[in-house]
Each structure stands twice: as structure tokens, then as C-alpha cells.
Amino acid sequence: MYIVLSGGFGNILFQLSYGYYIERNYNINISYLDANHYLLLFFRKLRSVSSHLSHLNDFSEVIPLTRPVTIIELLALSFSRLSNTSFAGVLWSENPPDYSFLSKSIVRSYFQDNSPIHPDFIDFLRLSFNIPQQTTPYIAIHLRITDSSQPPLVLQTYLQSCFSILSSYVHLPIVFVTNNIDAARMYIQDCFKLSRTPTFVSSSPCEDFKILASAEVLVISNSTFSWWASEISPNEQRIFMPSPSLFGQPFDPCTFKHRVIIP
């Protein structure tokens, strides 16, 4: 079975997670087609910072796509992007159907709707990113900015509700993890009055991911990137998440974590 890797960091983690589950539960060999060479660069980065190199061999079968796909290939790839296809996760049950027909299929999907997650995949991510077993005392808030002229992809009312809840954590510093520090700082200064001066960080995806996952209190945005950070975090109680409707499409992944939903 070939899974086409596409989208951003969080999307690719869902695709890897799905392949990991299928391979271990249905004895189907998985290869990953890397449409934009993202995964090859991603694992080179992990190999340079992770001491658990053996775990990275789980995804050694990565094939870069170096040429445009044909019309026939596009037709083969497009069918699985429908959210109601069984192997995209929506129709999973205690007795899922026979998936052996997928062994020679090329599948493309984001796998975000109830696709099962293997617990070993969570352990793999924790090891790969060197996530500590205990949280670090700070509040991490993921603030995703599209560009300097756009507001962040979270509603202002959601952040305001979170700040009201966080007012009881006066002893913890606030760290905003963002993809645009200048725009994020301007947005916060213009829209909110915080009781203490926050810190803004924007590093590599791997480093930002670890900052989010290590926080004692985590506020995620409408982003699969910060959702995955919350999923692998040792934090079991203080994770705040916007209503799934803010993701712009149905978003109901399987999870091992409890999150406080802010309407």
C-alpha cells in the first residue's frame, strides 16, 4: 500500500499514524510517497537531534516523487480524499472490513476523521522529539498567523475565554508559539490586555513542536500541528482546544487525551 504524503506537519503526522496502524494490525506493507520531499527533510532533522535512531527506521520506506503525476495517477489518488471512504477512517468499527485489497493501492487522504491511532506511534513521537516525561512550568499558546496582514486562525472570543481561565495561573509565564512573531505580538497587544508580559517564539517546526508538547498548560489553535503536540504531551489535565467547528471542516480524530473544549 502506498500512502501519498501531503499537506503540512500535522497533516503528515496523521498520514504516518494511519500507515503505522494499518501495517501493525493488518500485515500490509506501507510505503510513503513524499510529494514534496518534506518527510525526507523532516527525518534528516530528527536524525540530527534524536538519540533514538532505531525508531526512525519504522518509516525508512519513503519514496520521493520527482516528476508530475499523470492523469491516471491523479484519478487513482483522488478517490480517497472523500471523508466518507471507509479506509479514511469514518466507517471504522470493532469489526472493520477486509483491507487486503489496499495492499497494492495508492491512497491519499488526511485521515483525520476517527482514524485509529496506534499507542506505539505516540511513543515513537515522544522518543523522536525527546518529549520529557513531566511538563515544564509555563503556559504555551499556539498562535498561527497566515501572514502579516491577516488575523490568526483562531477566534478572538476563543482566546479571550482562554485568557480568562488562565488568569488563575499567575505563577506561570506565557509563551506564544507562532509562525510570525511581529504579527502575533501586534495582534496580542492590539486585542488583549494581559496581566504579564509574554514571550514570543518562532523556531524550526521540531523545536516549536517540543515547546508546545512540554508545557504545563497548553492552548492549541485550529491546527493539526498543535493538536498533535497536545496528543503526545505528558500534560493530562490542562489542554484547551477550540470547538472542532473552528477547524473549517469536520475534525473528530481518535485520541488518547482529554481536552477542554472552548465553544
User: In this structure, are 65 and 124 located in the same domain?
Assistant: yes
pLDDT at 204: 79
User: What integer pLDDT is reported at residue 5 of this predicted model?
Assistant: 75
Q: Are residues 12 and 107 in the same domain?
A: yes
Clarify whether residues 85 and 174 are in a common domain: no
Looking at the structure, tell me whether residues 144 and 56 fall in a common domain. no
Predicted TM-score (pTM) of the model is 0.78
Domain boundary among 82, 108, 128: 128
Are 57 and 123 within one domain? Answer: yes
Residues 110 and 168 in one domain: no
Which cell goes with 257?
A: 487525551
Q: Which of 96, 128, 160 is the last residue of a domain?
A: 128
Q: Bin 25: left if φ > 0, else alpha if -120 < ψ < 50, else beta.
A: alpha
Q: Residues 6 or more apart from 13 whose CB is under 8 A from it?
A: 125, 224, 228
Give the pLDDT of residue 103: 52
Q: Domain end: 128, 158, 190, which one? A: 128
147 and 216 share a domain? yes
Tell me, what's the pLDDT at 105?
66
Q: What is the CATH number of the domain that holds 240?
A: 3.40.50.2000
pLDDT for position 56? 45
225: containing domain: 136-251+258-262
Q: Are 81 and 176 contained in the same domain?
A: no
Residues 196, 225, single domain; the answer is: yes
Tens of pLDDT, residue by residue, the chain (263 residues): 777 777 778 888 888 888 888 888 887 777 777 665 555 555 555 555 444 444 444 554 555 544 444 434 433 433 333 333 333 333 333 444 454 545 556 677 777 877 788 898 898 888 878 899 999 999 999 998 864 444 555 668 889 999 999 988 989 999 999 988 998 999 899 889 888 899 999 987 878 999 999 999 999 988 889 999 999 999 988 999 988 776 666 677 888 888 998 87
Q: How many domains does the chain have?
A: 2
